[in-house]
Amino acid sequence: MRAHGKNEALAMTQEEGHEGSIALVGSGEFLPVMDETDLALLEQLGGPASARVVVLPTASGLEDPESPARWARMGLEHFGRLGTRVNAAPILTRDDALDPRWLPMLEAANFFYFSGGNPLHLIESMRGTPAWATIRRRHAEGAVLAGCSAGAMAICGRTSRLGALRDDGPPDWIPALDVLPRLIVLPHYDRMAGFVGQDVVDRIIKNLPEGAVLLGIEEDTALARLNGAAWRVSGTQKVWVFTSHGGEAHGSGARVDL
């Protein structure tokens, strides 16, 4: 049977092996402020009825158990309200990510959403595991991949221990999950100086690895690439793009060339 319209486009994308859409979110996962962004991502899959979302609160796995439970609950409610099928996968540790019982759920999904918490825990839990291999392959086949805050930091090329940058040294760049090798994300960028100090933010910007691009994504704001198209800003604030040549801010609706 021949697929038509958006479903045909999705089928062609998966057959040709094109990577799926991707979104980097500064904050606001599972809140109404992200409805526009998430609906645009769902449309790339043929609309909410065609999507099968898995919410992954992995980054909060070191927190009180209520925290990942809350993120899972919020994700289920949010995507349920948008009219799509959604499951939560409580993959909170490396042992969980090694457990094959989660693979059928991940295999059946075409939209993966990593919420906030600790990016290093997310990286260490996922790297080299069957769970991450499945997610990575499904994304290569056309599934959507989204990360908010720590989730966005972890799926890029590098990250750093921000809390350890209170001395005068340069950042200790740590390999991340490498979906977007050249990119580094600072989420909550409009508040980051208040969290770690403006001097720390300045040192990060001045000590980027060669060829890297730093994205300062403000709260309630996302940068998304829809099925190979240009990156665009959505949400209420700005995305800052820093390279060795300086920085530039982009407001909602703006195209960003990376």
Among residues 138, 137, 96, 132, the alpha carbon closest in space to that of 114 is found at 132
Report pLDDT for 136: 98
Assess if residue 5 is contained within a domain: no
CB 147 within 8 A of CB 24: yes
Assess if residue 87 is contained within a domain: yes
Report pLDDT for 163: 62
Structure tokens at 216: 């300062």
Report pLDDT for 225: 97
For residues 169-180, give the mean pLDDT. Answer: 90
Assess if residue 77 is contained within a domain: yes
Assess if residue 74 is contained within a domain: yes
Predicted confidence (pLDDT) at residue 15 exceeds the cutoff of 60: no
Report d(CA 107, CA 153) in Å as an integer.
24
Report d(CA 242, CA 219) in Å as an integer.
17
Report d(CA 117, CA 55) in Å as an integer.
14
- Burial degree of 207 (CB within 10 A; 0-12, 13-18, 19+): middle
Task: Give the DSSP H or E segment for 243.
Answer: strand 239-243
Confidence label for 200 from pLDDT (cuts 50, 70 and 90): confident
Report pLDDT for 11: 38
Dump pLDDT digits (tens) for 111-132.
999 999 999 999 999 999 999 9
Report pLDDT for 14: 40
Predicted confidence (pLDDT) at residue 193 exceeds the cutoff of 90: no
Overall domain count for the chain = 1
CB 172 within 8 A of CB 160: yes
Region of poorest pLDDT, from 14-28, 31-45, 83-97, 170-184: 14-28
Structure tokens at 169: 């040294």
Among residues 88, 149, 155, the alpha carbon closest in space to that of 123 is found at 155
Predicted confidence (pLDDT) at residue 216 exceeds the cutoff of 90: yes
Report d(CA 182, CA 195) in Å as an integer.
25
Assess if residue 196 is contained within a domain: yes
Q: Which domain holds residue 30?
A: 18-256
Report pLDDT for 165: 58
Dump pLDDT digits (tens) for 205-215.
999 999 999 99
- For residue 223, which phi and psi values (nearest 5 degrees)? -120, 120
The CA-to-CA distance between both ends of the chain, in Å, stands at: 38
CB 114 within 8 A of CB 147: yes
Assess if residue 7 is contained within a domain: no
CATH number of the domain at 181, please: 3.40.50.880
With a pLDDT cut of 90, the percent of the chain lying above it is 79
Assess if residue 9 is contained within a domain: no
Predicted confidence (pLDDT) at residue 37 exceeds the cutoff of 90: yes
Report pLDDT for 231: 97
Region of poorest pLDDT, from 44-53, 59-68, 163-172, 233-242: 163-172
Average pLDDT of the chain is 91
Assess if residue 79 is contained within a domain: yes
CB 110 within 8 A of CB 139: no
